Amino acid sequence: MIGTIDIEAIRTDYPVSSVVGGVTKLQRAGREWKACCPIHADRTPSFTIYSGDQRWHCFGCGEGGDVLDFVQKLHHVGLREAADMLTGSNLPVVAMPKIEKPSEPERDTIREAVEIWRSSGPIGGTPAEQYLRGRGISIRLPDCLRFARLPFGRRRYLPALVALVAGPDDQPCGIQRIFLTDDGKKANLPDGKVKFSLGRIRGGAIRLAPGAVSGMILSGSVEDGLSLMEIEGRAVWAAPGEEMLSGMFLPEPVRSVVIGADADDAGMRFAVKARDKFASEGRMVRVIIPANGAKDFNQELQEMAL
């Protein structure tokens, strides 16, 4: 409480979208809203409203918070003044369709993913590093990759590469696990599937490079992303699966995007879908495929070493 004003009630009564929508056009993006940031000169949608319409974050200027923080930043006022402006009907407010908060099971998967990540250890000297080195990757491995022994099924634990997925607000929103053998090979699992995601990963990215730059390469896997970093010497973010490429949120400073596609029908289909989405945001986008008939960029990297 501040004086006679109930701050929690204000946050409940005024969803972020209702206030932001009064000053700029919002676009629905799954369970989020996107917009050009009204706080700074924004050319593409870098402003995201998430967490059940209770939080916002701008990739362009780095600001974020709740509805009161938005009013404070936009109008350069303090907390009490922002509360008075909201409750005194001194701001344009619009009714927006309700976006439900993540369900309790969904929040539980995010919590579980973060707990696994925090309990994982450094990747150096583990089967996870051995797996990547065995695929011809020699660059320094980023801190978003770790190692753990994780349960698979009821009775056994397997070595796993654990990749952190960061959400639009820069916070952990999930992980991808790649199950391995003790000698750094892919685990022999039913149906051959070794990659499993956990958490709320849509919109997120495995940030193999530490920060957004004006030009960026996107990839559909950790292995291809690291290979592209080695081949091209540029920043790469990886989606936790090719089908997730088009859902990735990119910061406003990223004006040029290169999408590294697998050289098969599915890879090209997902890459074209992502290309069209990012181009619609006003970015320069092109799709590249591996050279010399390689099926993916990791195969190209390995063949370069022969």
Question: Tell me: the pLDDT tens digits for 107-152?
Answer: 678 889 999 999 999 999 999 999 999 999 999 999 999 999 998 8
For 103-142, b/e burial (b = at least 16 CB within 10 A) is eeeeeebbeebbebbeebeebeebbbbbbbeebbbeeebb
Q: What is the arithmetic mean of pLDDT over 160-189?
A: 93
For 264-294, b/e burial (b = at least 16 CB within 10 A) is eeebbebbebbbebbeebebebebebbeeeb
Q: How confident is the model at residue 105 (pLDDT cuts 50, 70, 90)?
A: low
Q: How far apart are CA 142 and CA 163, in angstroms?
A: 10
The dihedrals phi and psi of 123, each to the nearest 5 degrees, come to -80, -20
- Nearest partner of 17 among 95, 101, 100, judged by Cα: 95
Q: Catalogue all structural domains in the chain, each as residue range(s) with its CATH number.
A: 7-87 (3.90.580.10), 106-304 (no CATH)
pLDDT tens for each residue of 189-245 = 878 899 999 998 888 999 998 766 678 899 999 999 999 999 999 889 999 999 999
Verdict on whether the full-model pTM lies above 0.85: no
